[in-house]
């Protein structure tokens, strides 16, 4: 292919070299404790070789490449897409599949749970190609969610705030008191420029495509919370909401700087957070949820993300 997304740890990438990532595993809950780890983990110890993505059989449709992380893969929503790498926890009901069916597109789906911006240029797992490899001059549409896993900041904040909340039985704001502005500072200083680099690479590899990046649907409400479902201290609920807003702001800014379309989810997903009942919530809670991968969109959330994307891009 032509020019590539700069490899991490090279002079081309700018800034300090990327550190080697630790192995990633799915979000999970163990009895009487909160264990939320990096998303999109191995289902099997050995990785089967995989093609860049699965192709929709309708060759006449627009060439559509779906990229991104577990919110795009719909990790935890069954059934899994076949064929697809089992480590990626890619669902056949994710929003890219909903979009492709609605508009009659020819879909190549390379979404993968746990993906970071660096996985666009490097294989995320053995046998799983870099996501940029799926793009080309004939690609006409690209969608993604990405950035939430970078540096482990957002997922790390959910874990740390959950542990802190359990320690105070939901009282006070122990996570904010301990970590202050550190999470948001990392998003602004590290995640934001990484998003710009990733989107620029996508445009280089798919110069004739419309490129859209979605914001992340709300995980927690503005205030109050639901300690029985999301073990976050009451005072830390607005703290996590602010962190997610900062992440979505970084996504929106990166889209603007790279000529990409931003699909805002803040207003659309308001009132559909993980504290809401089944049939209303788009995100599954840590406890009392219906999906094996917690704090992720359910099938309803994926459909709504698809509908919002179709509307914003005028795909109807």
- Radius of gyration, alpha carbons of the chain: 18
Which residues are identified as catalytic? 70, 296
Cβ neighbourhood burial of 208 (10 Å; 0-12, 13-18, 19+) = exposed
Domains of the chain: 56-313 (3.40.50.1110)
Q: How far apart are CA 97 and CA 306, in angstroms?
A: 9
Q: Cβ neighbours of residue 161 under 8 Å, at least 6 residues apart?
A: 175, 232, 233, 236, 239, 240
Q: Helix (H, G, I), strand (E, B), or coil: what is residue 247?
A: helix
Q: How far apart are CA 167 and CA 232, in angstroms?
A: 10
Residue-by-residue DSSP string for 169-196:
TT-S-HHHHHHTTHHHHHIIIIIHHHHH
Residue 230 near residue 158, CB atoms below 8 Å: no
Average pLDDT in the chain: 85
Q: How far apart are CA 167 and CA 190, in angstroms?
A: 30
The phi and psi torsions of 100 (rounded to 5 degrees) equal -60, -40
Q: How much is the pLDDT for 14?
A: 39
What's the rounded mean pLDDT across residues 63-81?
97
**What is the side-by-side strand order in the sheet with 54-55?**
54-55, 106-109, 63-66, 141-144, 210-214, 261-263
* Residue 84, both tokens: 């697809």
- pLDDT above 50: residue 111: yes
Nearest residue to 26 via CA among 144, 115, 93: 115
Q: How far apart are CA 8 and CA 20, in angstroms?
A: 9
The model's pLDDT over 149-184, given as tens digits with 9 standing for 90+, comes to: 998 888 889 989 999 999 999 999 999 999 999 999
Q: How much is the pLDDT for 54?
A: 40
Percent of the chain with pLDDT over 90: 77
- pLDDT above 60: residue 52: no
Least confident of 21-30, 143-152, 162-171: 21-30
Strands 141-144 and 210-214: parallel
Q: How far apart are CA 204 and CA 235, in angstroms?
A: 44
The model's pLDDT over 216-273, given as tens digits with 9 standing for 90+, comes to: 999 999 999 999 999 999 999 999 999 999 999 999 999 999 999 999 999 999 999 9
Q: How much is the pLDDT for 8?
A: 39
The phi and psi torsions of 196 (rounded to 5 degrees) equal -65, -45
Q: How far apart are CA 121 and CA 9, in angstroms?
A: 12
| pTM score | 0.83
* Angle at 148 (CA atoms; ends 96, 188), nearest 5 degrees: 130
Residue 136 near residue 65, CB atoms below 8 Å: no
């Amino acid at each position: 292919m032509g020019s590539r997304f700069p490899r991490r740890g090279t002079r081309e990438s700018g800034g300090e070299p990327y550190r080697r990532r630790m192995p990633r595993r799915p979000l999970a809950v163990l009895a009487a404790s909160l264990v939320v780890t990096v998303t999109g983990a191995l289902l099997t110890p050995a990785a089967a070789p995989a093609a860049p993505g699965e192709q929709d059989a309708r060759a006449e449709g627009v060439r559509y490449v779906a990229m991104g992380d577990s919110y795009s893969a719909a990790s935890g929503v069954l059934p899994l897409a076949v064929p697809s790498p089992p480590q990626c926890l890619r669902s056949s009901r994710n929003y890219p599949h909903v979009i492709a069916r609605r508009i009659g597109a020819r879909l190549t789906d390379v979404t993968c749970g746990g993906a970071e911006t660096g996985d666009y240029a490097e294989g995320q797992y053995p046998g799983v190609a870099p996501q940029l490899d799926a793009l080309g001059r004939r690609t006409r549409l690209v969608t993604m969610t990405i950035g939430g896993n970078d540096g482990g900041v957002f997922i790390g904040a959910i874990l740390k705030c959950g542990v802190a909340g359990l320690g105070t039985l939901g009282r006070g704001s122990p996570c904010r008191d301990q970590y202050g502005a550190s999470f948001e500072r990392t998003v602004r200083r590290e995640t934001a420029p990484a998003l710009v680099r990733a989107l620029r690479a996508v445009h280089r590899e798919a110069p004739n495509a419309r490129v859209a990046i979605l914001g992340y649907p709300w995980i927690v409400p503005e205030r109050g919370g639901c300690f029985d479902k999301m073990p976050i201290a009451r005072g830390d609920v607005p703290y996590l909401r602010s962190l997610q807003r900062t992440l979505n702001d970084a996504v929106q800014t990166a889209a603007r700087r790279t000529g990409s379309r931003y699909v805002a989810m803040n207003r659309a997903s308001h009132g559909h957070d993980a504290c809401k009942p089944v049939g209303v919530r788009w995100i599954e809670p840590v406890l009392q949820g219906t999906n094996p991968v917690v704090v992720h969109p359910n099938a309803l959330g994926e459909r709504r993300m698809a509908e919002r994307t179709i509307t914003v891009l005028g795909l109807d």
